[in-house]
Amino acid sequence: MRFRGWIPLVLLAALIVAVSAYTAVRQDAFLTEYNLNNLLLATMPLALVAIGQTNALLVGGFDVSVAALITMCVVTASFTLKPDETTFSLFLGALAIVGVGFATGIFNATLIRVLRLPSIIATLGTLSILEGASLLLRASPQGEINSNVIDALNTSIGFMPVAFIGVVLFVVLADVWLYRTRTGMAVRAVGLDETSARRLGMSTGLVIFLAFVVCSVMASIAGFYSAAQVQIGSPIIGDYALTSIAAAVLGGASLAGGRGSFVGTLLAALFLSLINNVLPLFQQPAEYAQMTIGVLILLALVLYQAPELVGRLRTSWGGVGRLQTNDGEAPTG
């Protein structure tokens, strides 16, 4: 990863430390085992769906259907993960939820790769279908979810949820794969320039197809943790579509494809949850959290693009000539 790839990671880590330190000094309730555990558990759904979204962004697409898919998975859980079921039927029920994600992924990927619809349009359609289906199954929040399953998902060592450790390991390995192996490089190449990648003999269609399947499967796993939070078959789950894109972009992903970091996405998800966690501690209304996040996203995007911006300004200063390079790095020679 080049220097510019590190900017989001360093920035997010610094922000997380700064906000945490400030809050810890001012509010005793922050550094409690209970609050930290809650914070990390609340991060789980967003982190998982944003990791999925990063895959879609890496190949130059979007998946806005993830929000409805998570809702669908929660609703499905209220049928397949009922209280007092046997362990075996709970296992099948869990498989069913992942199956919903897998099927949605295949559906999206087919629309995008086989029928060649723009990803934003295709997943917007899927979003609407899944939303309708969820409301059909549960018109209002009902259907309790098995508490043993919830406890298992929330298993923690001290304040640290076991699942969060798993996610941390996953994103580190995923970034090593993305930036230190040929297949990871190939995936980025597909996102950066599909024609060239195909000319180099890569199966660009397969890469893009798989990226969307993985995105949906990750969203369905996020559905488990969302279900663990609401604990009931609710057809109204928060808006994970835009937040997941926001987290991926804050983490360094480019909307044009080919750039992104799984570690960055996790840090960004953690940071967004942190904002939502600390504002109530200061007795600030939740609306401020939303506005703060909006401002931060804009600031982050401007900052990440700073090298390109500088290059562009320099060029327009020198007349309206063509851009010499794609970003701000000076041409050699």
CA distance 241 to 127: 10
Least CB distance to another protein at residue 263 (A): 18
**Which residues between 170 and 199 bind another protein (CB under 8 A)?**
180-182, 185-186, 188-189, 192-193, 195-199
Q: What letter would DSSP give residue 161?
A: E
Residue 215: Cβ within 10 Å count = 33
| Helix, coil or strand: residue 160 | strand
Least CB distance to another protein at residue 34 (A): 44
Name 161's bridge partners.
156
Is 61 among the residues that bind another protein (CB under 8 A)? no
Is 3 among the residues that bind another protein (CB under 8 A)? no
- In the list 34, 87, 116, 201, the residue contacting another protein (rule: CB under 8 A) is 201
Binding mask 207-246 for another protein (x = CB under 8 A): ----------------------------------------
Check: CB of residue 258 under 8 Å from CB of residue 241. no
Tell me the two tokens of residue 246: 């926001």
Which residues fall within 8 angstroms of residue 223, CB to CB, at 6 or more apart? 45, 69, 70, 72, 73, 74, 76, 77, 97, 100, 101
**Which residues between 283 and 312 bind another protein (CB under 8 A)?**
none
Give the residue with the Cβ less far from another protein, 138 or 259.
259
Is 158 among the residues that bind another protein (CB under 8 A)? no
* Amino acid in the structure at residue 238: G
Count, residues near another protein per rule CB under 8 A: 33
Which residues here bind another protein, judged by CB under 8 A?
180-182, 185-186, 188-189, 192-193, 195-202, 258-259, 317-322, 325-327, 329-333
